[in-house]
Chains A and B, each alone.
Chain A
């Protein structure tokens, strides 16, 4: 048999780089995903590069220039305290997307929304994998508890958690985790239920692999596609929720710029100066829409790819 020799030339060895390039190529196939990516990248870059792309400090008040409309000196106008809206909006994105301040002086990269979703993913995936892979009473117990949590209106859950533990960036992360984990768990469980019927799972079982290996090495990597897409949507929802919490005064403590609290502060002056409300709202909605578009585009394209 000369099978291997004859087929050799037709298939090239894939390098890791090529694989990444290949998966990115899916992204470029979809116009929707690209549009979403542009929106998301815009806000991400604005937040990361905030000190470089703004001319004012976000908390610098200028009593001479309150409630101004957009102009050459203040691109997006100013708020009721004369703070530059562009720099506030740009800095506002930092806490959501770029940095998680654990204490006043110490922060870790990755915003509150992103960390919240990542932790929700970790917790939810573990629970979902256990439910889906082991089944039986573990499944029953885990799913009933999660069902009970999901039966709670999300916003109410946020309010209760924040009211109980106080408003801080870390607590917002905890709230996002608790509110998001059940949904992730459900998704991962359904994926695990499907994947565990595959022959390669049986093969691993006949090798006597441990439960942890089965869940995290055999099952999880094959569920990654839907999980990534779900995570993008979830980041969007988290941003939304952070906005809501901020608006209700339960978000991040002032005076740090935060989109939700900007709307809250601005809405008193909405008839004098609508810009103070418009810009942070635009920021929230365009980022959420961007993430949704990106997720939708990727999902559609990956389905077509099969």
Chain B
């Protein structure tokens, strides 16, 4: 964790004290048809040699714009209107392209979220990498290749010589990102800017890449500017962090200070609205930040956060606060930072939830959905031109579980584990290859087009992407009204009243009735999507990553809403997510999927404590936790997820299992040949593993709090 990175001692003080990067009062605007948009204002920070500095903020807060400003990549309509960017003491603002290129030379490198943005899809990786060395530096081709292979080894790329001969699409996303990082490091840059480099990666891959970044930063003495929306990721890689909001830096301090004792109300709000790993809905509550980020065209006159701030006073509305040093090396942009940090925050009265009510729910035993040996295979096109055996992608392979009425089942797993296919099969959008599906005593293995309306009504879905969940051509009212009309939930003349009631349940008022989707924010769209799903009063709602595309502050509001709905109308839910903290918070029962099968399924609290399935253990240790006081076990999975076209025999996890050789007597050879048995622990907690339950119980908890 961050403490390890504090390598500087007094003795090294004789070196150069100039920061690698110093940004002073930076302001960047974009020209648009309707006038200039000030995307970034008044941003100042510095990055010392060898330091990892995080920039955290929600989408649209200007964090990427700052990065693009530094590398002068603002596009045709963006320009720096004010301020200075000093790179190693030399000002980059106001220089010509040519001068910039010379000053910056190969000393600043940038890594983007999408590695394919940096890789040329039509060139072999080896050629792209060696080009870096041969073009500017006249390194001989052969030497350049050697050097590239060394660098690939350095980023722990398996079989680097082979990778050099491949094209970008032939390696996985995590490996692509490693290649991009290796390429960036070939020039030995003084500053490496990373813009959400792990956001598109799965959590176990992300953990490995983050480890790599921390290690490289130490070894190469490279200063890193790390941009992310994820507080946990920032906590893992950086020593200092700047929090951005609506184009301004609102707080800046060491990671520990910011996380444990934030000064700025926005930072405090952020900390309160993310579920920490281990929090659950019966014992805690997420406090969303009210309102939404102001548009940069229409900023408040005073403090930018004032409209959403719980502490706002008259002064905040009138006077814009400066970023000022509250204590040594702790900066915050708030008039009352000292006062509010002392005041322990009390949630507004209307927000205090009735947690007891949740806990007091009756124990129901009625199983509403029973699935036995479910299989969904997709036929993969044969590679041969004529004939050839048909191959099947076993997206879901032999999965059995039941969901009780009123419960929430969470399904977690990395991309490609089959969790979405499972849900689509249940709702009838995919046809199952085999197995029994029983919902309220009715067989539901038929596709949706063959089901009768009464059954269709009972199963509804909430989708992941807020931008595509609503039909852009129709108003909110029409779209929520449609299931009401179709299922005849209410008489035709009451549809409007019912829609308004649903909107109010979503905490949207009547004025939303006539809006078009593009006039809504992401969170609002998602709420309308939920309203549409529950309009027909379904018994079971399937949620496919409903909050993963939302900003954290909005995410909290949507999660709370789902909880309230569940409480109010007693809906059963299946909730898919890749974020383990969210699932832990939200669900009663959790299933962990790997390559089309359950690795483990059981009550939420049992999944997050020993006995663990080795895969669950690895997942938990990979989750970035936004809390520096928490210790996590360090377990990293090697290799890639095998293809579902040809899954490994025996236990599907055996190719990556870090536990089998140490915990099984014969070195785990049994895992390669035999399908693991189902081991049942207390409360219906089932683990599919060859390692005996007693041994699994002996495992240390992955997450421990040190304080």
A-chain residues with CB within 8 Å of residue B96 when the two chains form the complex: none
Report the minimal beta-carbon distance from B496 to chain A, rounded to whole angstroms. 15
The yes or no answer to B512 lying at the interface (CB within 8 A) is yes
The yes or no answer to A255 lying at the interface (CB within 8 A) is no
Task: State A92–B515 Cα separation when bound (angstroms).
Answer: 45
Question: Assuming A13-B514, A208-B448, is B291 touching A203 (CB within 8 A)?
Answer: no
Q: Mark B421-434, 1 if CB is under 8 A from A, else 0.
A: 00000011100000
Report the minimal beta-carbon distance from A270 to chain B, rounded to whole angstroms. 49
Q: Mark B202-214, 1 if CB is under 8 A from A, else 0.
A: 0000000000000
Residue in contact with B515 in the complex, picked from A6, A14, A200, A207, CB distance below 8 Å: A14
Q: Which one of B140-148, B369-377, B437-445, B452-460 contacts A?
A: B452-460
Q: Mark A25-54, 1 if CB is under 8 A from B, else 0.
A: 000010000000000000000000000000
Residue in contact with B519 in the complex, picked from A3, A5, A14, A204, CB distance below 8 Å: A14
Report the minimal beta-carbon distance from A175 to chain B, rounded to whole angstroms. 33
Task: State A218–B532 Cα separation when bound (angstroms).
Answer: 15
Judging by beta carbons under 8 Å apart, are B290 and A6 in contact?
yes
Q: Mark A5-24, 1 if CB is under 8 A from B, else 0.
A: 11110110110000100000
Judging by beta carbons under 8 Å apart, are A1 and B427 in contact?
no
B-chain residues with CB within 8 Å of residue A3 when the two chains form the complex: 290-292, 507-508, 523, 557
Judging by beta carbons under 8 Å apart, are A203 and B469 in contact?
yes
B-chain residues with CB within 8 Å of residue A221 when the two chains form the complex: 471, 473-474
Judging by beta carbons under 8 Å apart, are B469 and A4 in contact?
no
The yes or no answer to B451 lying at the interface (CB within 8 A) is yes
B-chain residues with CB within 8 Å of residue A11 when the two chains form the complex: 511, 515, 519
Judging by beta carbons under 8 Å apart, are B514 and A7 in contact?
no
Report the minimal beta-carbon distance from B376 to chain A, rounded to whole angstroms. 16
The yes or no answer to B470 lying at the interface (CB within 8 A) is yes
A-chain residues with CB within 8 Å of residue B560 when the two chains form the complex: 1
The yes or no answer to B706 lying at the interface (CB within 8 A) is no
B-chain residues with CB within 8 Å of residue A19 when the two chains form the complex: 516
Report the minimal beta-carbon distance from A30 to chain B, rounded to whole angstroms. 11
Task: State A221–B536 Cα separation when bound (angstroms).
Answer: 24
The yes or no answer to B307 lying at the interface (CB within 8 A) is yes
Task: State A8–B511 Cα separation when bound (angstroms).
Answer: 8
B-chain residues with CB within 8 Å of residue A6 when the two chains form the complex: 290-292, 307-308
Task: State A37–B327 Cα separation when bound (angstroms).
Answer: 65
Question: Assuming A2-B290, A208-B456, A222-B473, is B507 touching A202 (CB within 8 A)?
Answer: no
Judging by beta carbons under 8 Å apart, are B291 and A202 in contact?
no
Residue in contact with B451 in the complex, picked from A4, A8, A203, A208, CB distance below 8 Å: A208
Judging by beta carbons under 8 Å apart, are A206 and B507 in contact?
no
Report the minimal beta-carbon distance from B574 to chain A, rounded to whole angstroms. 13
Closest to B348 in A: A2
Judging by beta carbons under 8 Å apart, are B429 and A202 in contact?
yes
The yes or no answer to A199 lying at the interface (CB within 8 A) is yes
Report the minimal beta-carbon distance from B193 to chain A, rounded to whole angstroms. 27
Closest to B474 in A: A221
Task: State A245–B669 Cα separation when bound (angstroms).
Answer: 80
Question: Assuming A14-B519, A202-B463, A207-B482, is B507 touching A1 (CB within 8 A)?
Answer: yes
Closest to B465 in A: A199
Residue in contact with B516 in the complex, picked from A2, A14, A198, CB distance below 8 Å: A14
Residue in contact with B461 in the complex, picked from A2, A14, A202, A218, CB distance below 8 Å: A202
Residue in contact with A200 in the complex, picked from B308, B471, B487, B509, CB distance below 8 Å: B471
Report the minimal beta-carbon distance from B414 to chain A, rounded to whole angstroms. 21
Judging by beta carbons under 8 Å apart, are A207 and B469 in contact?
no
Closest to A220 in B: B473
Judging by beta carbons under 8 Å apart, are A200 and B511 in contact?
no
Closest to A9 in B: B511
Report the minimal beta-carbon distance from A10 to chain B, rounded to whole angstroms. 8
Interface residues on A, range: 20 to 34
Task: State A206–B519 Cα separation when bound (angstroms).
Answer: 25
The yes or no answer to A300 lying at the interface (CB within 8 A) is no
Judging by beta carbons under 8 Å apart, are B515 and A218 in contact?
no
Judging by beta carbons under 8 Å apart, are B519 and A203 in contact?
no
Report the minimal beta-carbon distance from B314 to chain A, rounded to whole angstroms. 18
Closest to B520 in A: A11
The yes or no answer to A205 lying at the interface (CB within 8 A) is yes
The yes or no answer to A140 lying at the interface (CB within 8 A) is no
Report the minimal beta-carbon distance from B293 to chain A, rounded to whole angstroms. 11
Question: Assuming A208-B456, A222-B472, A222-B473, is B463 touching A2 (CB within 8 A)?
Answer: no
Report the minimal beta-carbon distance from B400 to chain A, rounded to whole angstroms. 23
A-chain residues with CB within 8 Å of residue B611 when the two chains form the complex: none
The yes or no answer to A209 lying at the interface (CB within 8 A) is yes
Report the minimal beta-carbon distance from A139 to chain B, rounded to whole angstroms. 16
B-chain residues with CB within 8 Å of residue A7 when the two chains form the complex: 291-292, 521
B-chain residues with CB within 8 Å of residue A14 when the two chains form the complex: 514-516, 519
Judging by beta carbons under 8 Å apart, are B288 and A1 in contact?
yes
Task: State A203–B429 Cα separation when bound (angstroms).
Answer: 10
B-chain residues with CB within 8 Å of residue A206 when the two chains form the complex: 427-429, 448, 456, 459-461
Report the minimal beta-carbon distance from B426 to chain A, rounded to whole angstroms. 10
Task: State A112–B487 Cα separation when bound (angstroms).
Answer: 44
Report the minimal beta-carbon distance from A188 to chain B, rounded to whole angstroms. 15
Report the minimal beta-carbon distance from B568 to chain A, rounded to whole angstroms. 15
Query: Of A4, A6, A14, A221, which is in contact with the most chain B CB atoms at under 10 Å from its CB?
Result: A4
A-chain residues with CB within 8 Å of residue B290 when the two chains form the complex: 1-3, 6
Judging by beta carbons under 8 Å apart, are A29 and B33 in contact?
yes
Report the minimal beta-carbon distance from B509 to chain A, rounded to whole angstroms. 5
Judging by beta carbons under 8 Å apart, are B453 and A208 in contact?
yes
Task: State A80–B474 Cα separation when bound (angstroms).
Answer: 57
Q: Mark B577-595, 1 if CB is under 8 A from A, else 0.
A: 0000000000000000000
Q: Mark B485-510, 1 if CB is under 8 A from A, else 0.
A: 01100000000000000000001110
Task: State A8–B507 Cα separation when bound (angstroms).
Answer: 12
B-chain residues with CB within 8 Å of residue A2 when the two chains form the complex: 290-291
B-chain residues with CB within 8 Å of residue A202 when the two chains form the complex: 429, 461, 463
Query: Of A2, A6, A203, A209, which is in contact with the most chain B CB atoms at under 10 Å from its CB?
Result: A203
Task: State A14–B515 Cα separation when bound (angstroms).
Answer: 7
A-chain residues with CB within 8 Å of residue B514 when the two chains form the complex: 13-14
Report the minimal beta-carbon distance from A70 to chain B, rounded to whole angstroms. 43
Task: State A3–B503 Cα separation when bound (angstroms).
Answer: 12
A-chain residues with CB within 8 Å of residue B468 when the two chains form the complex: 198-200
Judging by beta carbons under 8 Å apart, are A203 and B463 in contact?
yes
**Can you show 9 pairs from A to B with CB atoms below 8 A apart?**
A7-B292, A199-B463, A199-B464, A199-B465, A199-B468, A199-B529, A207-B486, A208-B449, A222-B471
Q: Which 4 A-B pairs have the closest CB atoms?
A: A199-B463, A221-B473, A208-B456, A198-B468
Q: Which residues of A contact B (CB under 8 A)?
A: 1-8, 10-11, 13-14, 19, 29, 198-200, 202-209, 218, 221-222, 224
- A-B contacts besides A200-B479, A202-B429, A207-B460, 15 pairs, CB < 8 Å: A1-B351, A3-B557, A6-B308, A11-B515, A13-B511, A13-B514, A198-B468, A200-B469, A202-B463, A205-B429, A205-B448, A206-B429, A206-B460, A207-B487, A208-B448
